[in-house]
């Protein structure tokens, strides 16, 4: 089958690889029709992880079931399914608590939890930027879509990751109707946090970034764009909130954050968040930070230790939720919002490309080139 593989830093290629196939009786095999490039793929793409070359990327996947293992009885051949990026079992202690992002069955490494398709450190699973995808524990991991999704796959594919992840940031932050929220990052995840905050009835949604195309989408989704190239985002947010700061905050950037000069600096957003959120406020951090890699202690991006003013955080009595989104916890309800026309996450999509064009999509999305806000791939035409 054709697939997009990681070939080293800043290098992805479309290659012929062995077909994905049913390996266990609980597996489902999916012919991928729609799959996205995510900001999380860029961690691998930019070489900041220990991804081995030859791995197929892609964790935001949707397609048609073409074969099911002997032990699968809920999902049927012909079903159109969206796949949460987390690969989970449904029966471990964490899955029982709804923490599908910390499944202890599907990540085979000792002392690790949580698995995903085509992702460094999150199990050996192949990604879905390919013609075919093997889905472990298929009955549990397939979200069966309604018939009308066939003609609207670009909305429904967002249920695999970024819509639930944006929603999760507002859940971790404890956002309530009528409250204000400061969101750092207007990439796809920050934009989905903006959409979620709108749906939840936030009174003011202030979203920080510096790219005009992304800030324009903030406005379209009902947020107030805060351009951090025009001055301190904290000051701008304080001005919008009578000097108090927002009730809640969301971090949707991660360790590739830029500093005021536009240089990369991973501790920018956490300090800004602490200073933009009021006393006793709370925040959700879904931007990815990675653990320490002992092999490269001097590498800013592999250090794991990200400095932020913990003293101010403590003094203000704030709280913070972190981590990967347990997609499955939310996606049935978010599906209903799409189905009933109350959410249209595809609004942020700028490009729909074939698999052959994927390397070009990675290059533009990685540079945050103007107009490349979210890239969707169609591996089977
Ligand atoms: P992206 O890189 O396209 O978006 C990040 C945005 O943040 C960019 O527009 C960038 O200009 C902006 N930014 C950079 N520095 C900033 C700063 N100092 N202040 C404000 N904005 C700043 O990526 P994305 O797809 O939106 O993903 C964002 C993050 O979310 C990534 O770290 C990704 O890995 C992570 N993510 C996490 C989960 C999860 O489950 N927790 C799921 C999906 C993605
Ligand atoms: Zn993603």
Q: Name the pairing type of β-strands 180-184 and 204-209.
A: parallel
Digit-coded pLDDT (tens) for 53-93? 999 999 999 999 999 999 999 999 999 999 999 999 999 99
Nearest C-alpha neighbor of 184 from the set 220, 243, 244, 236: 236
Instruction: Determine if ligand 1 sits within 6 Å of the CB of residue 86.
Output: no
Nearby residues of 15 by Cβ (< 8 Å), 6 or more positions away: 2, 3, 5
Q: What is the whole-number distance in angstroms between the Cα of residue 256 and the centre of ligand 1?
A: 8
Domain with CATH 3.40.50.720 in the chain: 165-322
Instruction: Determine if ligand 1 sits within 6 Å of the CB of residue 164.
Output: no
Q: Which residues surround ligand 2, an ion (CB under 5 A)?
A: 38, 40, 60, 161
Task: Write the residue with the smallest CA distance to atom 9 of ligand 1.
Answer: 187
Task: Write the residue with the smallest CA distance to atom 33 of ligand 1.
Answer: 40
Instruction: Determine if ligand 1 sits within 6 Å of the CB of residue 287.
Output: yes
Domain with CATH 3.90.180.10 in the chain: 2-161+327-378
Q: What is the whole-number distance in angstroms between the Cα of residue 85 and the centre of ligand 2?
A: 7
ipTM of the complex: 0.99
Q: What is the whole-number distance in angstroms between the Cα of residue 78 and the centre of ligand 1?
A: 35
Instruction: Determine if ligand 1 sits within 6 Å of the CB of residue 40.
Output: yes
Instruction: Determine if ligand 1 sits within 6 Å of the CB of residue 126.
Output: no
Nearby residues of 263 by Cβ (< 8 Å), 6 or more positions away: none
CA separation for the pair 52, 144 (Å, rounded): 32
Chosen CATH of 165-322 out of 3.40.50.1980, 3.10.180.10, 3.40.50.1970, 3.40.50.720: 3.40.50.720
Nearest C-alpha neighbor of 232 from the set 187, 189, 271: 271
Structure tokens at 234: 């904290």
The arrangement of secondary structure in 2-161+327-378, i.e. its CATH architecture, is Alpha-Beta Complex (3.90)
pLDDT tens over the chain, length 381 residues: 999 999 999 999 999 999 999 999 999 999 999 999 999 999 999 988 889 999 999 999 999 999 999 999 999 999 999 999 999 999 999 999 999 999 999 998 888 899 999 999 899 999 999 999 999 999 999 999 999 999 999 999 999 999 999 999 999 999 999 999 999 999 999 999 999 999 999 999 999 999 999 999 999 999 999 999 999 999 999 999 999 999 999 999 998 788 777 777 766 899 999 999 999 999 999 999 877 665 555 555 555 778 789 999 999 999 999 999 999 999 999 999 999 999 999 999 999 999 999 999 999 999 999 999 999 999 998
CA separation for the pair 329, 168 (Å, rounded): 9
């Amino acid at each position: 089958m054709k697939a997009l593989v990681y070939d080293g830093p800043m290098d992805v290629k479309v290659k012929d690889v062995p077909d994905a196939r049913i390996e266990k009786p609980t597996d489902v095999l999916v012919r991928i029709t729609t799959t996205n490039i995510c900001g999380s793929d860029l961690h691998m793409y930019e070489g900041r992880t220990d991804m081995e070359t030859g791995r197929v990327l892609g964790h935001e996947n949707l397609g048609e079931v073409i074969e099911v293992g002997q032990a699968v009885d809920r999902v049927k051949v012909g079903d159109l399914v969206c796949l949460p990026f987390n690969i989970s079992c449904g029966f471990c202690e964490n899955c029982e608590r709804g923490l599908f992002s910390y499944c202890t069955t599907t990540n085979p490494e000792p002392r690790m939890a949580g698995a995903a398709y085509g992702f460094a450190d999150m199990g050996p699973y192949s990604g879905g930027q390919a013609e075919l995808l093997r889905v472990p524990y298929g009955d549990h991991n397939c979200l069966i879509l309604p018939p009308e999704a066939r003609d609207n796959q670009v909305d429904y594919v967002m249920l695999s990751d970024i819509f639930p992840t944006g929603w999760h940031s507002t859940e971790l932050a404890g956002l309530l109707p009528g409250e204000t929220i400061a969101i750092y990052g207007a990439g796809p995840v920050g934009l989905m946090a903006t959409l979620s905050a709108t749906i939840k009835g936030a009174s003011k949604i202030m979203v920080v970034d510096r790219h005009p195309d992304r800030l324009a989408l903030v406005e379209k989704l009902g947020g107030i764009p805060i351009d951090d190239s025009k001055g301190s985002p904290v000051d701008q947010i304080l001005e919008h909130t009578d000097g108090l700061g927002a009730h809640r905050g969301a971090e949707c950037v991660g360790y590739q954050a830029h500093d005021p000069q536009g240089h990369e600096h991973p501790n920018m957003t956490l300090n800004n968040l602490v200073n933009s959120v009021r006393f006793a406020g709370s925040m959700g951090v879904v931007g990815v930070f990675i653990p320490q890699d002992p092999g490269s202690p001097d590498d800013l991006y592999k250090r794991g230790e990200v400095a932020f003013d913990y003293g101010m955080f403590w003094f203000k009595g704030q709280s913070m939720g972190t981590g990967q989104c347990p997609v499955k916890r939310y996606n049935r309800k978010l599906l209903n919002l799409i189905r009933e026309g109350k959410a249209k996450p595809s609004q942020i999509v700028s490009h729909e490309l074939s698999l052959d064009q994927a390397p070009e999509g990675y290059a533009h999305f990685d540079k945050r080139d103007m107009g490349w806000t979210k890239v969707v791939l169609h591996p089977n035409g």
